[in-house]
Structure formats: structure tokens, C-alpha cells
Homo-oligomer: A and B are copies of this chain.
Amino acid sequence: MGLQIGLGSRIRKSPFFDALVRHGLTHVTVYNHMYMPGSFGDPDEEYRALLERVSLWDVACERQVEVVGPDAFALCQYVSARDLRGMAVGRVRYAPMCDHDGVLLNDPMVLRLAEDRFWISIADSDVLLWCQAVGAERGLDCRVFEPDVSPLAVQGPRADDTMADLLGEWVRDVPFFGFVETSHDGIPFVLCRSGWSGQGGFELFLQDGSRGLDLWDAVWAAGEEYGIHPGGPTLNERIESDLFSYRADCGAAATPLEVGLERYVSLDRDDDFIGKSALLAERSRGPARRLVKALLSGERLAATSEHPWPALSPGGSPCGEVRVAVWSPKHDSNLCLALVSSDVAGGPFTTETPTGEVLQATHLAYFAE
């Protein structure tokens, strides 16, 4: 089914938007109240470019929540389920956030720009409101706002070559989840070794929205000899690479222990954080559901699943949902992420597609383990 998206000022365009259109953008979605590019018309080629060459993505919709001031660390530490102590300036941590019941509300990465200044680089929910409310109601002395920052991702095996040609050989030494503030041709940005693929590369956090097209064009020119291609977050690749997608993989009512993020949750911290007691109780009794990666039987799926499909246990009872189903080139099979009851999560189950086809699911792994 092809549905067009209405364009209007309620949803924001990114500073890179006109470049996307010029490169033949065909599909978008909406993320953090912004348009996010989905495809330029050839998903197979986009997958290949990401795995074999270099891919350029407008991920401006990965908004920043800036927290700055004397209590900035205290606020970030209290809203993060992960312990942020020991984090140096210039480094990043992936830090899930929960509500007071231990329910995941976002899974940002946190960048420390200065001792008292952070960017919370968010998935799709209004963390800005959450942090403003918590900070103000606790009387913390810090400012919480959305800065003019728009990430552009350069991903794939030739991302290092592309960025070295653009900025210099020094970029090869930027460590994973490390960043530097830099500029090119007067365009200020933070260069960070990160990105939502398993293929390596950088995110360039543009700090002047008026220079979006200049930055896009500069990276594009540097990448041409490496076969750069326009793209966006790539659903099958990110599942193959065990990258979690908040909402897609779990809706808005799952815990980090259910979805395989336990290693990023510092439950044994000696200080308090939002959701701690609920998560400790859940760890004691064990999570009720688990997110699993499974192979799916049947012919190659023509498109990504549009919505969750019911999952059934071997005995035929409802046991959860297949959240995402896609064709995986890596596995040469259909692949899915399913959020299912813990008692069936380690084994086979079935799912029924909207056309009534029953597919067999074969357990591959607990997600991200």
C-alpha cells in the first residue's frame, strides 16, 4: 500500500532536507516531530552501499536535549538508568532512561561536552519535557533545552576514508563513542564515532542549521570516490547488528530487562535513579517477556511488516507479538524481532501474517545477547 505523507509546518524539515529531495528521496517517516528519510527508491542498493561502501544519512531527527549548569550532571545521572560517573569530557555513553515504574521511555546516548554540559541524543519521545519536569520539580540548577544541533551520519566501511579525505587523517584516531568539536569551511560540528548501524562510521552533529546543505555537499563530494549513496537507518541491517529501536521493538510499555538492555542498566549503583526500585524488583522475579531474534519461514517478505503480528506458542496460545519482520540478506532468510513470554522465548513459536499465512519462527538469540 502506498500512502503519501502530508507536508506542513507542524512537522519540521531538517537542514539537510533539500539535499535529500535533490538526491531522489522517495520515502520518509516522522521521528521526534521531524521528517526522517527512509528510502531513495532502492532499498537493496541502500543496504549494499551501507555494507560495502559508505552511506550518508540525515538523522537530524535524533534531537539533542542539552543540559547545562552546576547541577547538569546530577540531573543526567538521576534520569539515566546507567551510571554516568567516570565519564570523561569527549566521551559518550549509551544510557537507557526509565519512568518511575521502570518502563523504558527512551534509549539515548549521552555526550559529555564539558564537566557541566551534556547532550542527551534521543530516540523518539519528548525527553526534553521529561528532563525539564524532573529538573524543575527537584529544584536542580541547570538549563534544559533543545539546541540547534542536527546529526548527519556517515556509515559504512569507507566512512573513515571519506572523513579522512574531508578533515584529515586524524579522524581515524577518534575512538568509538569518542568525539571532538571541529569545523570544515567554517561549518561547526561535533565529530563523533557513532551511528545506528553495525558498519562503523561517524555522526557529524551540525551546530549551525543554516549550513546544512554545505555540510551535506562537502561530505558527499569527499565520498564520491568511495561510492557514497544516500540512505537512512536500515531496518534489516540494524536487526542483523543487534541495534535496538525504541517503539518499533517494544511499543512504549516495556522494560530494559525485557528488551535485552540489562548490560546498560546499572542496577547495583549506590545512588538512586528513576525506576531503580521497580527494576530491582523485576530483576528478582525475572522479566515477564523477552525480546528475541528469530528466523521466519516462508518466501522472501516483499516489504517490512506494517504492524505487529500475533505470536503463538507451540501449544497454540497467544504469547506475544512479532514486532518487526524483514528479509535479511545476511541470514538469507526472513528475520524477526518478537517480544514474547519468557517461558517460550528460548524456543520456537509461530506467527500469523495479515494475509493469514502461518510462519514458523526459529529462535536465533535473545536480543543483543
Contacts and interface: CB of A to CB of B under 8 A. Distances in A.
Interface of A: 1-13, 21, 25-30, 33, 35, 38-39, 99-100, 105, 124-127, 129-130, 132-134, 136-138, 146, 235, 245, 247-248, 251-252, 274, 304-308, 323-324
B10 A27 contact: no
Contacts of A130: 126, 129-130, 133
Contacts of A29: 5-6, 8, 10-11, 30
A33 B247 contact: yes
Given A26-B4, A133-B133, A247-B33, A9 B308 contact: yes
A21 B1 contact: yes
Residue of A2, A25, A38, A133 with most partner-chain B CB within 10 A: A133
Given A5-B28, A12-B307, A133-B134, 18 more contacts: A3-B4, A3-B25, A3-B27, A6-B27, A7-B306, A8-B248, A8-B305, A9-B248, A9-B306, A9-B307, A9-B323, A10-B248, A11-B247, A12-B251, A30-B30, A33-B124, A99-B129, A125-B129
A100 B138 contact: no
Contact of A1 (B7, B10, B38, B39): B7
Contacts of A12: 251, 307
Given A8-B324, A105-B129, A129-B105, A252 B33 contact: yes
A123 B199 CA distance: 38
A74 B11 CA distance: 33
A115 to B, nearest CB: 24
Contacts of A99: 129, 132-133, 136
A9 B11 CA distance: 20
A294 to B, nearest CB: 15
22 contacts: A1-B7, A3-B7, A5-B28, A6-B38, A6-B304, A7-B307, A8-B305, A8-B306, A9-B247, A9-B305, A9-B307, A10-B124, A12-B251, A33-B124, A99-B136, A105-B129, A126-B129, A126-B130, A127-B129, A129-B133, A130-B133, A133-B134
Contact of A28 (B6, B137, B247): B6
Given A137-B138, A248-B8, A13 B306 contact: yes
Contacts of A304: 6-8
Determine how many copies of this chain the complex contains: 2
Nearest to A274: B136
Nearest to A20: B3
A172 B127 CA distance: 42
A162 to B, nearest CB: 26
Q: Which 4 A-B pairs have the closest CB atoms?
A: A30-B30, A133-B133, A10-B248, A126-B126
Contacts of A13: 306-307
Residue of A105, A126, A274 with most partner-chain B CB within 10 A: A126
A12 B308 CA distance: 9
B9 A27 contact: no
A256 B140 CA distance: 25
A21 B354 CA distance: 14
Contacts of A274: 136
A9 B324 contact: yes
Residue of A6, A33, A100, A105 with most partner-chain B CB within 10 A: A6
